[in-house]
Amino acid sequence: MVEFTLHEVLVASISQVMTKSNGKGILMVNDVAEEIVNETLYGDSIRLQQVLADFLLISVNYAATGGQLNVAASLTKDQLGQSVHLARLELRISHSGGGVPEALLNQMFGTDGDPSEEGISLFISRKLLKLMNGDVRPKGFSKKNVVQSVYYCLRGIEGQSCISLAIFVGVCFMMNAIMIPT
């Protein structure tokens, strides 16, 4: 576990999928507020980067050519002592397109008997999130593959699909990290 900022993780994760997104003409938009991006966190930044890059790649794969992919975040803090806080980080990835197929989501939760390579990747990412006290917790599917998180709800924007995780109009997931005051 190390000190890191979300900015470092976002830059590394987004750069891992830029070639594929540029090839599809997808505009990647970072909608994360400045104060969240620059917050000093203490946790497993490499694992978070791996999970975020995986969800970004899946989102790019299912986003419409020439579309847009947005990354947003929220951060809530619980004080543990005078100088240490527990942070709950929620990341949301939204994109234009038809959404991630329900069969692939089932593979992520281990409920489909014959997983694809993408399904195995999502399954592993979910397990990594659980190791970080986070999870992907969809509540249900709609016609546009919109999944609502048990923590927060994201509403599908017309022409977009959404999954809200507890770290798919893409993906939303949550994890806990310790914040170190600067």
Q: Nearest-5° angle of CA 71, CA 131, CA 31? A: 10
Distances from the Cα of 33 to the Cα of 13, 55, 110, angstroms:
17, 20, 34
Report, as ranges of residue numbers, the positions in the chain whose pLDDT lies below 70: 137-182
pTM above 0.85, yes or no: no
Question: Residue 69 phi/psi, 5° resolution?
Answer: -125, 125
Which residue ranges make up each domain of the chain? 2-91+102-136+174-179
Neighbours of 126 (CB within 10 A): 22
Q: In whole angstroms, give the CA distance from residue 172 to residue 79.
A: 24
Closest CA to 132 of 176, 81, 86: 176
pLDDT of residue 139: 38
pLDDT of residue 172: 52
For domain 2-91+102-136+174-179, give the CATH number: 3.30.565.10
pLDDT of residue 74: 85
pLDDT of residue 33: 93
Asked if 10 and 32 count as a contact pair (C-beta separation under 8 A), the reply is yes
